[in-house]
């Protein structure tokens, strides 16, 4: 798949182009050739030995492994540290500490996500230029399930280089050739003379040696960590309540800010009717208008600030969206499917002709999903200070260093301040799911800090601001058509999706250049069905604008398109009188990797074994983030209508797996996220504003009725693939297909259930057929 700039990579094209012009324009290619994209040079820093950009040895024997990716629950700090420890022959114990480095070394850049070329396969001028430009601009982002794919090879090389430098230092010290030395468990050993030197003793000498030109990587047969589950490095602190999330950043004499955003997106503040009253509320220090759009209340306590913010009587400007509601927004999409002028992504063969052929069996269906939001457990927050010497410092749970930096600059800019230097601290993230790559709360904190120079300001959004005034996954609708051949399999597939462009909306807020809305690659993720043998294939997308701010959301287009397409494949199977598993097996006849995953999940689930009346199984499969993932959901629909997802089986080919237990954890958590969205999540709009406000009206899955989940990892010959998002992807279709199997009713719109009160019980049930 040699697409150079794909998917989420596009989001940075604007920034990358800006960066390219800037850097190349100022200093040219000669300068870029000096950018240290490997980070293998060492140096001594006081008592500590910096062996390279990824490893620091301290005199007390502790080892810091720099992992320049955000830990937001996915276990990335552990997985990437394991890679370095493996190559260095370090024991994986509590002497290892993982840091998210504050410094943005060019070797840390997330260029894989932009260029979509694995580092171990990288060559050519585009990659040469791209990784240098992105390295120089400090593009460090965590997303697109890309962290392991992007750093697997660089961190292996860094570990191997560090090990060779330690051996070289030992060879000099012992006066023996390096070839006579071996390493194990943090020591260099000379077998012949039974002499042993610890890494700690050698570190400072090793750090000043030149790194090897071509570090020798360990043979797979020598691995003792990779592929064997290791406990996570961040969990001992997490069970003690000790880690510092953005919410926990505490600075001397800090001000706390509560904030109010416009209920109708895009509105500005026309006035605050009772500013004096709010200013006189207990503890309030200031009431500040931010960029003409938001109102912040600053106090010595966030509780006081939030209490005072509830008093605010704000007049908002008219935007023209005051009459918009969910029904209108959905109607716009349906209309776009019928009368839009969609962007052509794929037109292979002649799907139109095959669908129009006389006597063709045409299956056609329309599907839809609502807006949803992330609802990270840690509400949005950021802390900023503008020091008296003109330096700025920001602390935030963020997925993206570039938007964090641009947000800081933008916020300071609103106050006419340009910080002399901005230091960014990325804290632990209490969930992220794509949400924390936007700069919004960071710009707010930066502005307030610029208005109160010398004093730290922490902004916290209430849950109501997060759910009702935040950022959203687009709603989407699709019309899918297939012409079935004599064997019942599709001879033509025609997919049209209507959604609001993620990149256009996200880029418009966050990037110097806004990507155009048409042909957004994120809108069609999961629509292509490349793994299915489909002789004639057409895929189109239609951007449908609205006033809603759209953002990345765990698995983006896959989160709706895979629901559409894998439901539709079941509908085709039903029309062909085929079993859904057998039908997919036939469609996957040219895709052995996918077939193996499908067969595995079917075996796990006991596909085909009879189920009691009211119960059903559904299956779905997708290729995403270079992984292949399949799920079987097993549901019960009780006589009173209550829907329960009893069990969920998941098989994944995630390529080479570093820390298997964490891939399992991501599949479990992803499946819960997906089941939540399938059954209960919806953001509705009335009079231009979001209706939902908190967890009572934006319900999420809780422990009761959460499905039991079984996960198996399929052996793979592929290099590491993505694991953070795939678990979400097939869940909605698997559940919808299972409900069909249980009841004979095909539900084509999410959420699949509504809350009903029966006596004292509140249950989730399917809508009656006439209301569905």
Binding site for other proteins (CB under 8 A): 71-75, 231-232, 234-236, 238-245, 247-248, 250, 256, 301-303, 306, 375-379, 428-433, 460, 462-463, 661, 665, 668-673, 676, 694-696, 700-706, 708-709
State the minimum distance, in angstroms, from the CB of residue 430 to other proteins.
3
Tell me the three state secondary structure of residue 772.
coil
Task: Give 171's contacts (C-beta < 8 A, 6+ positions apart).
Answer: 177, 178, 180, 181
Least distance in angstroms from the C-beta of 375 to other proteins: 6
User: Please, what is the minimum distance in Å from the beta carbon of residue 256 to other proteins?
Assistant: 8
Using the minimum distance from each CB to other proteins, give the nearer residue, 383 or 406: 383
Residue 516: count other Cβ atoms within 10 Å of its Cβ: 12
**128 vs 245, beta carbon nearer other proteins:** 245
Q: E-strand spans in 370-510?
A: 381-386, 391-396, 421-426, 457-460, 476-484, 490-499
Dihedral angle, C-alpha 126, 129, 132, 138, nearest 10 °: -70
Measured over the CA atoms of residue 450, residue 454, residue 456 and residue 457, the dihedral's sign is negative
Comparing CB distances to other proteins, the nearer of 71 and 494 is 71
List for the chain the helix, strand, coil content (%; round to 5).
Answer: 35, 25, 40
Cβ neighbours of 356 (radius 10 Å) = 12
CA gap 394, 401 in Å, rounded: 11
For the CA atoms of 335, 341, 346, 352, the dihedral, rounded to the nearest 10 degrees, stands at 80
Q: Which is nearer to other proteins, 185 or 242 (CB)?
A: 242
Residue 410: helix, strand or coil by DSSP? Answer: helix
Q: How far is the CB of 461 from other proteins (least distance, A)?
A: 10
Task: Name the residue nearer to other proteins (CB basis): 16 or 657.
Answer: 657
Element (H, E) at 539: strand 536-543
CB of 453 to other proteins, least distance (A): 23
Q: Which of 582, 574, 547 is nearest to 687 (CA)?
A: 547
Dihedral (Cα; 187, 188, 192, 193), 10-degree rounding: -70
For strands 643-653 and 708-713, give the pairing. parallel
Q: CA 162 → CA 45, 52, 82, 204, 498, distances in Å?
A: 16, 7, 14, 12, 51
CB 694 to other proteins: min, Å: 6
Minimum CB separation from other proteins for residue 431, in Å? 5
**Backbone phi and psi for residue 274, each to the nearest 5 degrees, phi listed first:** -125, 45
Q: How far is the CB of 673 from other proteins (least distance, A)?
A: 6
Pick 98 or 428: Cβ nearer other proteins = 428
Least CB distance to other proteins at residue 716 (A): 23
Q: How far is the CB of 728 from other proteins (least distance, A)?
A: 10
Query: Least distance in Å: CB of 118 to other proteins?
Result: 26
Angle, helices 199-207 vs 147-174, to 10°: value is 100
Of the two residues 367 and 433, which places its CB atom closer to other proteins in the complex?
433
Cβ proximity to other proteins: between 517 and 707 the closer is 707
Element (H, E) at 541: strand 536-543
Cβ 752 to other proteins, closest distance in Å? 18
> What distance in Å separates the CA atoms of residue 650 and residue 619, rounded to the nearest whole number?
10
49 beta partners = 44, 57
Which residue, 466 or 571, has its beta carbon nearer to other proteins?
A: 466
Cβ closer to other proteins: 266 or 660? 660
- Measured from the CB atom, is 306 or 528 closer to other proteins? 306
Minimum distance, C-beta of residue 137 to other proteins, in the bound complex (Å): 28
Q: Which is nearer to other proteins, 2 or 252 (CB)?
A: 252
Nearest CB to other proteins, comparing residues 26 and 704: 704
Tokens of 375: 């609802």
299, 284 contact by CB (below 8 A):
yes
Of the two residues 218 and 228, which places its CB atom closer to other proteins in the complex?
228
Dist CA 424 CA 396 (whole Å):
8
User: HEC states along 448-472?
Assistant: HHHHCCCCCEEEECCHHHHHHCCCE
Comparing CB distances to other proteins, the nearer of 256 and 764 is 256
Q: Helices (H) and strands (E) in the chain — how many of each?
A: 20, 30
CB 645 within 8 A of CB 735: yes
The three-state secondary structure class of 615 is strand
Report the distance separating Cα 559 and Cα 440, nearest Å. 24
Q: Supply the minimum distance, in Å, between the C-beta of residue 731 and other proteins.
A: 10
260: left (phi over 0), alpha (psi -120 to 50) or beta: beta
Least distance in Å: CB of 102 to other proteins?
Answer: 21
Q: 74 vs 113, which CB is nearer to other proteins?
A: 74
The sign of the CA dihedral 603, 608, 611, 613 is: positive
Taking the complex as a whole, the smallest distance from the CB of residue 414 to other proteins amounts, in Å, to 27
């Amino acid at each position: 798949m040699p697409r150079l700039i794909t998917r989420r990579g596009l989001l940075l094209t604007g920034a990358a182009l800006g960066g390219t012009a800037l850097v190349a324009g100022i200093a040219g290619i000669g300068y870029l050739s000096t950018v240290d994209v490997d980070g293998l040079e060492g140096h001594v820093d006081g008592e500590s030995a910096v062996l390279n950009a990824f490893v620091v040895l301290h005199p007390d024997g502790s080892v810091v492994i720099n992992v320049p990716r955000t830990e937001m629950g996915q276990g990335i700090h552990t997985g990437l540290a394991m890679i370095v420890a493996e190559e260095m022959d370090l024991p994986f114990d509590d002497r290892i500490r993982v840091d998210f480095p504050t410094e943005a070394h060019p070797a840390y850049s997330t260029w894989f996500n932009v260029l979509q070329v694995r580092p171990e396969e990288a060559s050519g001028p585009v990659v040469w230029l791209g990784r240098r430009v992105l390295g120089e601009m400090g593009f460090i982002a965590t997303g697109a399930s890309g962290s392991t794919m992007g750093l697997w090879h660089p961190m292996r090389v860094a570990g191997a280089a560090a090990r060779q430098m330690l051996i070289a230092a030992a060879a000099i010290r012992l006066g023996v050739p390096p070839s006579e030395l071996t390493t194990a468990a943090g020591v260099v050993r000379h077998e012949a003379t039974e002499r042993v030197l610890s890494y700690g003793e050698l570190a400072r000498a090793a750090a000043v040696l030149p790194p090897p030109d071509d570090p020798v990587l360990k043979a797979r047969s020598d691995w003792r960590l990779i592929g064997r589950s290791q406990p996570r490095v961040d969990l001992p602190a997490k069970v003690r309540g000790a880690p510092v999330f953005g919410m926990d950043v505490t600075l001397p004499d800090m001000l706390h800010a509560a904030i109010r955003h416009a209920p109708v997106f895009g509105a500005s503040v026309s006035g605050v009717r009772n500013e004096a009253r709010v200013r006189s509320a207990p503890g309030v220090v200031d009431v500040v208008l931010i960029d003409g759009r938001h109102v912040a209340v600053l106090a010595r306590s966030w509780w006081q600030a939030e209490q005072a913010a509830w008093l605010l009587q704000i007049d908002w400007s008219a935007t023209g969206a005051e009459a918009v509601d969910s029904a209108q927004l959905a109607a716009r999409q349906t209309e776009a499917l019928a009368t839009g002028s969609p962007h052509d992504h794929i037109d292979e063969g002649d799907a139109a002709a095959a669908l129009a052929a006389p006597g063709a069996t045409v299956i056609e269906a329309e599907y839809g999903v609502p807006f949803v939001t992330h609802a990270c457990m840690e509400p949005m927050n950021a802390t900023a200070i503008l020091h008296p010497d003109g330096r700025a410092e920001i602390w935030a749970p963020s997925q993206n260093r570039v938007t964090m930096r641009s947000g800081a600059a933008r916020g300071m800019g609103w106050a006419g301040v340009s910080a002399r230097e901005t230091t960014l601290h990325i804290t632990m993230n209490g969930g992220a799911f794509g949400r924390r790559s936007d700069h919004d709360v960071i710009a707010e904190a930066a502005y307030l800090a610029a208005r109160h120079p010398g004093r730290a300001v922490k902004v916290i959004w209430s849950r109501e601001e997060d759910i009702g005034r935040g950022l959203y996954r687009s709603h989407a609708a699709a019309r899918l058509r297939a012409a079935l051949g004599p064997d019942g399999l599709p001879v033509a597939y025609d997919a049209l999706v209507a959604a609001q462009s993620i990149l256009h909306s996200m880029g418009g807020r966050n990037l110097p250049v806004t990507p155009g809305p048409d042909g957004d690659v994120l809108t069609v993720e999961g629509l292509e069905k490349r793994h299915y043998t489909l002789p004639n294939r057409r895929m189109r997308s239609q951007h449908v604008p609205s006033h809603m701010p759209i953002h990345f959301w765990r698995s983006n287009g896959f989160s709706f398109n895979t629901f559409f397409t894998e439901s539709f494949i079941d509908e085709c199977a039903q029309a062909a009188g085929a079993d859904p598993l057998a039908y997919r097996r036939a469609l996957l006849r040219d895709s052995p990797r996918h077939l193996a995953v499908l067969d595995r999940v079917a075996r796990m689930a006991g596909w085909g074994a009879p189920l009691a009346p009211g119960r059903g199984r559904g299956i779905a499969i997708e290729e995403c983030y270079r992984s292949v993932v399949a799920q079987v959901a097993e549901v019960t629909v009780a006589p009173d209508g209550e829907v329960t997802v009893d069990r969920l089986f998941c098989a994944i080919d995630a390529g080479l797996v570093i820390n298997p237990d964490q891939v399992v954890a991501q599949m479990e958590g992803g499946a819960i996220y997906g089941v939540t969205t399938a059954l209960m999540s919806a953001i509705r709009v009335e009079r231009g504003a979001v209706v939902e406000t908190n967890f009572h009206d934006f319900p999420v899955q809780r422990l009761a009725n959460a499905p039991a989940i079984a996960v198996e990892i399929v052996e793979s010959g592929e290099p590491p693939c993505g694991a953070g998002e795939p678990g979400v992807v097939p869940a909605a279709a698997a559940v919808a297909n299972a409900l069909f199997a249980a009841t004979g009713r095909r539900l084509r719109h999410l959420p699949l259930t509504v809350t009903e009160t029966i006596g004292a019980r509140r249950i989730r049930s399917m809508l009656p057929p006439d209301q569905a």
